[in-house]
Amino acid sequence: MAGEVTEKRASAPHQWTQKHRQRWLLAILSASLVLAVLVAAGMGAVHVPVWLLARKLIGGGSLSADQGIILFTIRLPRIFASLLVGAALSVSGLLFQGLFRNPLADPYVIGSSGGAVLGASIGVFLLPPVSIAGFGTTALLAFVGALGSITLVYWLARVDGRTPVVALLLAGFAVSTMLSYSSYFLEVLDHDFGTGMRVLASWLHGTIAQPTWPQLAIVTLMLAIGFAGSVPLARNLNTLALGEEYAMHLGLSVQKTRIAVIVIGSILTAAAVALGGLISFVGLIVPHMLRMVLGPDHVRLLPATALLGALFLVVADTVARTAIAPAELPVGVLTALIGGPFFLYLLRKTKQGVMS
């Protein structure tokens, strides 16, 4: 009896530190995110000091009319857009890595990018620029294209009511490549002295759009639904990590979990693509970095992933729009330039490869 008591006590510090580590990390990430948003809002052609902004936000202080317009119609919407895109891509990456039981999966792994490219090309080259709820043709068609290609992939990979993961990956790769290359034929229709090409190129490299507040509200709602749906899925992904058969024996409905992950991951990715084009590496490295700190438990990773993804892209987009001002870099170029080497470093550092 006495032995049991000491053992119970011995277990306490272990659980305590792990929970504590997560809480501290979440607190630090949240604080950094707020700070990053404030600093980012101050940066640009018209400088607005951070302290002025902070005072304005808590109700005091005042900004000039120009500063107000710049902040509330230009900078803050853009910053919130990058925040949403970063969070959406990272969570989607985490979900797909869990689903495929492979830390190398990313949000585009089952073909959303190909559909998005084709959709965006149709928008750029074929259709007049109309807008629905503030979203332009390119963004809307990219969204539809991403969802459409995933549906196609899922339908192709489905055999006898089951969708084997390998079939999903292969179909995803094939469909995505086919669709993105077929957009080449549309470029022939570009009679606009290459303007369309430039628009498409910047979209392909990932550029955060300048959204309106209603647009942000719509995307925020989609992401809120996506995140809420991810919460129960995170625990299922832990079970699924043991393998399909094991998970089945434990009473997990593998097929339902798989569909839920694909639906939610696709909505998150498509929303991100609509706002920011194709941004690489974020969805791959953010969950990966956090796994090194917090371990592989998806329940613990989920909130931290959303926060770090948001923080990462807010910082990256601020650098992208200020580094070579008045010109602008596509943020995707930046994430690839930072993300690529960092990812390779991780690959080399973890001895058993990315698997551990």
Partner 1 sequence: MKPLIEFARVGFAYGDRNILTDLDASVFENQCIAVVGPNGAGKTTLLRLAAGTLAPACGEVYLKRRNLQSLKQREIARSVAFVPQNVEVPFSFTVEQFVEQGRTPFLRMFGGLSPADYEAMRRAMELTDTWSLRSRVFNQLSGGERQRVKIALGLAQQPQLLLLDEPMQHLDIGRQFEMIDLIDLLRREGIAIVASMHDLALIEGTFSSVWLMSPDKPIRQGSPQEILRPEILEIAFNCLPHHRPRLLERMRDRMEHAL
Q: Tell the smallest beta-carbon distance from residue 112 to partner 1 (Å).
A: 22
Helix (H) or strand (E) segment spanning residue 130? none
Stretch that binds partner 1, among 5-13, 61-69, 139-147, 261-269 (CB under 8 A): 5-13
Output 50 or 241, the one with its CB closest to partner 1. 241
From residue 253 to residue 282, the character string flagging contacts with partner 1 as x (rule: CB under 8 A) and all else as - is: x-----------------------------
Q: Tell the smallest beta-carbon distance from residue 296 to partner 1 (Å).
A: 3
DSSP string for 195-211: HHHHHHHHHHT------
Q: Tell the smallest beta-carbon distance from residue 343 to partner 1 (Å).
A: 17
Alpha helices in 205-281 (DSSP H): 213-240, 244-249, 254-276
Q: Is residue 355 a contact point for partner 1 (CB under 8 A)?
A: yes
78, 254, 35, 80: which is closest to 165 by C-alpha?
254
Task: Count CB neighbours of 41 within 10 A.
Answer: 23
Helices (H) and strands (E) in the chain, counts: 15, 2
The answer to whether the beta carbons of residues 121 and 143 sit under 8 Å apart is: no
Output 133 or 231, the one with its CB closest to partner 1. 231
Q: Is residue 296 a contact point for partner 1 (CB under 8 A)?
A: yes
Q: Tell the smallest beta-carbon distance from residue 330 to partner 1 (Å).
A: 32
> What is the Cα–Cα distance from 68 to 65, expressed in whole angstroms?
5
* 81, 99, 146 from 277: Cα distances, Å: 12, 24, 11
**Binding-site residue total for partner 1 (CB under 8 A)?**
31
Angle (nearest 5°) at CA 340 between 176 and 96: 45
Coil, strand or helix: which one is 158? coil
Q: Is residue 283 a contact point for partner 1 (CB under 8 A)?
A: no
Q: Tell the smallest beta-carbon distance from residue 234 to partner 1 (Å).
A: 11
Q: Is residue 164 a contact point for partner 1 (CB under 8 A)?
A: no
Q: Tell the smallest beta-carbon distance from residue 333 to partner 1 (Å).
A: 31
Stretch that binds partner 1, among 95-103, 187-195, 204-212, 330-338 (CB under 8 A): 95-103
Q: Is residue 232 a contact point for partner 1 (CB under 8 A)?
A: yes
159, 143, 180: which is closest to 255 by C-alpha?
159
Q: In the complex, which residues of this chain contact partner 1 (CB under 8 A)?
A: 7-8, 11, 14, 101-103, 231-232, 235, 238-239, 241-243, 245-253, 291, 295-297, 299, 355-356
